[in-house]
RNA sequence: GAGAUAUUAGCUCAGUUGGUUAGAGCGUCGGAUUGUGGUUCCGAAGGUCGUGGGUUCGACCCCCAUAUGUCUCCCCA
């Protein structure tokens, strides 16, 4: 049979895994350094946990798992009735009661609700796991992909927002991605905008349209707003606000004037000011990324209630590589009221593409093996094995070519694997109780003792 | 869920208005070189032209279906 993998999934070859691990490890170090704790949840959740949390479109994209035992003859009537329900577009636990994780946020909320008595709040957690969506695959869009979330739950302080901004800046600084913009806005400002536009109940309509500004331009947004029944006067107000220019202080001041008397808008402005104030005192001097206030930033997700952020780089033509925001009452759905959270997410796959395109991955990711011992066979094999054992005990990643095949084949193997050193120990070396070490980068080869080998290789790392 | 487009050797791609044995580069393998890789030279292997039907004397080429990739819409990371 012809081997294949399901649509929208990928194999990760060794070099790709190393590159991905480099990203994961970089982020993990930053999270841990800021006191965040790791969390993992199951690949599958009960379907009832996920359904109704992501909207109608989301429900359709959840991968559902067929129950086992559907061929049980005794339950046949029940199962057939269940299938009729499925055919009419409704789910039933008689046919499917589990589903693959769709994102990391809802399982996180479920986790908090289940373990609220054991958790020390405020709870800071990070989570890096795959999620699955039955979407149609496109470039940079997969049915299995990794999310990386970092949240603080159980505190309403804007210090948390500032800390997360620091995490973004620190992460992209460490990954050396140039021209980073962290765009900042507040759902409260958008709510004020809806009031200003005489459409306080159409916040969602306005945000969905506004979210497309980058993609379809103002004319496109205007058309959408018209279609959604926003008045001409309202559209004019929205346009005016998206056109505010200047530095962050200027933007906030101008907005404050326009939002005169609109309480929720003013609160949004104050929150951003306070967050930026905290950020300025927390940030490191060498971070290059910019924080840019952008009143057109909307983000589609409806559960955001306060500050929202999105990260882009001007260095590569690509969508956002991260996003997040404040959400009040995320756990309310699971019966835990009054817990506010704020979180950010990293788009791992897109970050991978950016680093690949800009060639920002470290050079030494190809192999961890430092030295290959050439196999000369016969009497030399036991000597080679004792050297192998010695080097490993000294903490030097080493390999012994397992077959005594032709010399150039073994050399080609080392070259292809990107192994920096080759150790030759044949009859001559064994007679002198020495070894020949060849450096593949310089081509230089020297007869030396094992101690010197350890020193030379250690100095090279 | 809707539309468009592509699929030829391990990889990247040529090709034929429908006519015997489908080509190249790179890679792989063998040799020059059984103790010197990355450079060079010589040689070889490798394809039922994505899959299944149909039209035709004859299909890699035309038609239909299907799988997978890519693009647009929808939605999203």
Q: B40 C1' – A410 CA distance, angstroms? A: 20
Domain spanning A14-42+102-357, CATH class:
alpha beta
Share above pLDDT 90 across residues of chain A, in percent, rounded to a whole number = 57
pTM: 0.90
Would the pLDDT of A188 be above 80?
yes
In this complex, the answer to whether residue A143 has its CB under 7 A from any atom of chain B, a nucleic strand, is: yes
In this complex, the answer to whether residue A376 has its CB under 7 A from any atom of chain B, a nucleic strand, is: yes
Residue entry with tokens 């497309």 = A212
Predicted confidence at residue A315, as pLDDT, reads 85
> For A9-31, what is each residue's pLDDT tens digit?
988 888 889 999 999 999 999 99
Query: Chain B positions under 7 Å from a protein CB?
Result: 1-2, 28-31, 33-38, 50, 67-77
Predicted confidence at residue A343, as pLDDT, reads 95
Q: B21 C1' – A213 CA distance, angstroms? A: 60
| pLDDT grade for A82, boundaries at 50, 70 and 90 | confident
| pLDDT grade for A39, boundaries at 50, 70 and 90 | very high
Task: Tell me the domain boundaries of chain A.
Answer: 14-42+102-357, 367-459
Predicted confidence at residue A11, as pLDDT, reads 87
| pLDDT grade for A5, boundaries at 50, 70 and 90 | confident
Return d(Cα A270, Cα A391) in angstroms, integer: 61
> For A116-129, what is each residue's pLDDT tens digit?
999 999 999 999 99
Q: Is the peptide bond before A218 cis (omega within 30 degrees of 0)?
A: no
Residue range A147-174: mean pLDDT, rounded: 96
ipTM of the complex: 0.86
In this complex, the answer to whether residue A436 has its CB under 7 A from any atom of chain B, a nucleic strand, is: yes
Q: B27 C1' – A420 CA distance, angstroms? A: 23
- Burial profile A288-315: b = 16 or more Cβ within 10 angstroms, e = fewer: ebebbbbbbbbbebebbbbbbbbbbbee
Would the pLDDT of A88 be above 80?
no
In this complex, the answer to whether residue A38 has its CB under 7 A from any atom of chain B, a nucleic strand, is: no
Predicted confidence at residue A316, as pLDDT, reads 81
Residues 6+ apart with CB under 8 A from A281: none
Q: Which nucleotide is nearest to A441 (CA to C1')?
A: B38
Predicted confidence at residue A85, as pLDDT, reads 82
Residue range A199-220: mean pLDDT, rounded: 84
Would you give the DSSP letter of residue A141?
B
Residue range A145-157: mean pLDDT, rounded: 95
In this complex, the answer to whether residue A429 has its CB under 7 A from any atom of chain B, a nucleic strand, is: yes
Residue A27 in 3-state DSSP? Answer: helix
Q: Domain A367-459 maps to which CATH number in 3.40.462.10, 3.40.190.10, 3.40.50.800, 3.30.70.1250?
A: 3.40.50.800
Return d(Cα A145, Cα A104) in angstroms, integer: 12
Helices A380-393 and A450-460 pack at an angle, to 10 degrees, of: 50
Predicted confidence at residue A1, as pLDDT, reads 64
Of A residues 328-367, those with CB within 7 angstroms of nucleic strand B are: 345, 347, 349-350
Share above pLDDT 70 across residues of chain A, in percent, rounded to a whole number = 99
> For A401-459, what is each residue's pLDDT tens digit?
988 888 888 999 998 888 999 999 988 888 888 999 999 888 899 999 999 999 999 99
CB–CB of A180/A321 below 8 Å? no
């Amino acid at each position: 049979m012809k081997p294949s993998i399901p649509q929208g999934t990928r194999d990760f070859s060794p070099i790709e895994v190393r590159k991905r691990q480099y990203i994961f490890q970089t982020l993990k170090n930053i999270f841990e350094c800021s006191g965040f704790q790791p969390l993992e949840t199951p690949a599958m959740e009960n379907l009832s946990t996920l359904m109704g949390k992501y909207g109608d479109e989301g429900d359709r994209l959840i991968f559902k798992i067929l129950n086992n035992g559907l061929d049980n003859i005794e339950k046949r009537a029940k199962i057939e009735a269940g299938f009729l329900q499925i055919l009419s577009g409704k789910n039933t636990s008689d046919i499917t009661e589990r589903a693959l994780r769709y994102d990391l946020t809802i399982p996180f909320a479920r986790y908090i609700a289940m373990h609220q008595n054991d958790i020390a709040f405020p709870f800071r957690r990070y989570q890096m796991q795959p999620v699955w969506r039955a979407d149609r695959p496109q470039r940079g869009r997969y049915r299995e992909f990794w999310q990386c979330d970092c949240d603080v739950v159980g505190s309403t302080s804007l210090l948390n927002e500032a800390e997360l901004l620091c995490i973004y800046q620190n992460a992209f600084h460490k990954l050396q991605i140039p021209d980073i913009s962290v765009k900042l806005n507040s759902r409260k400002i958008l709510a004020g905008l809806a009031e200003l536009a005489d459409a306080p109940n159409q916040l969602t309509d306005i945000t969905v349209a506004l979210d497309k500004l980058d993609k379809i331009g103002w004319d496109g947004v205007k058309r959408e707003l018209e279609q959604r029944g926003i008045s001409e006067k309202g559209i004019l107000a929205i346009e005016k606000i998206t056109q505010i220019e200047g530095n962050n202080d200027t933007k906030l001041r101008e907005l404050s004037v326009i939002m005169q008397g609109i309480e929720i808008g003013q609160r949004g402005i104050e929150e951003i000011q306070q967050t930026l104030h905290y950020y300025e005192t927390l940030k490191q001097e060498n971070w290059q990324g910019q924080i840019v206030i952008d009143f057109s930033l909307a983000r589609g997700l409806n559960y955001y209630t306060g500050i929202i952020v999105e990260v882009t780089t001007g260095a590569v033509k690509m969508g956002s590589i991260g996003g997040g925001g404040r959400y009040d009452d995320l756990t309310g759905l699971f019966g835990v009221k009054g817990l506010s959270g704020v979180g950010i997410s990293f788009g791992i796959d897109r970050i991978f593409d950016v680093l690949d395109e800009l060639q920002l991955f470290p050079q030494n990711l190809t192999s961890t093996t430092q030295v290959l011992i050439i196999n000369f066979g016969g009497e030399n094999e036991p000597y080679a094995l004792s050297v192998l054992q010695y080097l490993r005990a000294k903490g030097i990643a080493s390999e012994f070519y397992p077959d005594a095949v032709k010399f150039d084949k073994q050399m080609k193997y080392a070259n292809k694997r990107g192994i920096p050193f080759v150790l030759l120990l044949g009859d001559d070396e064994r007679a002198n109780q020495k070894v020949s070490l060849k450096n593949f980068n310089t081509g230089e080869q020297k007869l030396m003792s094992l101690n010197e080998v350890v020193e030379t290789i250690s100095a090279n790392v």
